[in-house]
Structure 1
């Protein structure tokens, strides 16, 4: 069921995926070449590629740009999720952030850890990876069953 919910959210958030891909590719495009390990005509931006942006090596000269692109993707997917899960015709949320939301740095680091532990999603679209990470890390509380009197 979670898979169907994530798939629906991804279909509705096609714009978020396009924006996220643009953010993620920005550092490479600025240099006039594809990102390391990323073919020039990549069909989609993967969870593994996003994890590399979110956790650049300490000696990476593009670490600041990579983190910025990572944050852009996380925020874009998160905001699209929020848009589609609020209002009168809202879809059921895939994840629910805590009352005091974590920092982008914390979410980014947690996403890198989650991606390393969930290699089966490495080739999935980055937006799907973010939604799966969110569902695993920030599950929604199910409403308590109505008590019968």
Structure 2
């Protein structure tokens, strides 16, 4: 059921994917371009590298905003589709004490390292899978049967 919800959100959340994909065109990521100058697919592994660059990486501070932009874009798109009159069932639910972007980025990097089977998945899918695992929603109470 989670994968159906993820698929539905990804189809409807093309804006988030487009925005996250636009990050690939930044100069720091230009190295990942495919032949012909077209941007390569922006994957979960790519986002994990943005969110957790090596300490000796001279671009570490420049990459941080791109990481945050991708995480916020997916999170805000999720919020748009899970609120309002035609709301979808949320994939994840943030705790009352909302984590900082630094905390989310660090947790995402750890999750991506532990779940490398998703490294080739689109970055938005990886973020949603990470968030569903890290910030699960409380189970809805079972509906009462009518007698």
**TM-score (structure 2 length as normaliser):** 0.90
Cα distance 1:72–1:18, how it changes in 2: closer, same or farther (>3 A)?
same
The aligned counterpart of 1:17 is 17
* CA distance in 2: counterparts of 1:41 and 1:114, whole angstroms: 29
Gaps of 5+ in 2: none
Q: Distance in 1 between matches of 2:57 and 2:21?
A: 20
The structural deviation recorded for 1:23 is: 2.7
Which residue of 2 is the match for residue 90 of structure 1? 87
SS at match of 2:26: helix
* 1:110 matches 2:121: no
2:124 aligned to which of 117, 123, 127: 127
Partner of 1:4: 4
State whether residues 54 and 109 of structure 1, in contact with CA within 8 Å, keep that contact through their aligned partners in structure 2: yes
Instruction: Give runs of ≥4 in structure 1 deviating > 4 Å.
Output: 146-149
- 1:56-115 Cα offsets, whole Å, 9 max, x none, are 010111111111100000000000000000001001000000011100000000000000
Deviates more, 1:39-48 or 1:129-138: 39-48
> Which deviates further from its counterpart, 87-96 or 38-47?
38-47
C-alpha root-mean-square deviation of aligned residues, in Å? Answer: 1.8
Counterparts of 2:41 and 2:74 in 1: how far apart (Å)?
15
Normalised by the length of structure 1, the TM-score is 0.89
1:41 positional shift: 2.6
Q: CA deviation at 1:21?
A: 1.7
Moved more, 10-19 or 121-130: 10-19
Q: Does 1:80 align with 2:95?
A: no
Change in Cα spacing, 1:43 to 1:24, as seen in structure 2 (3 Å) is closer
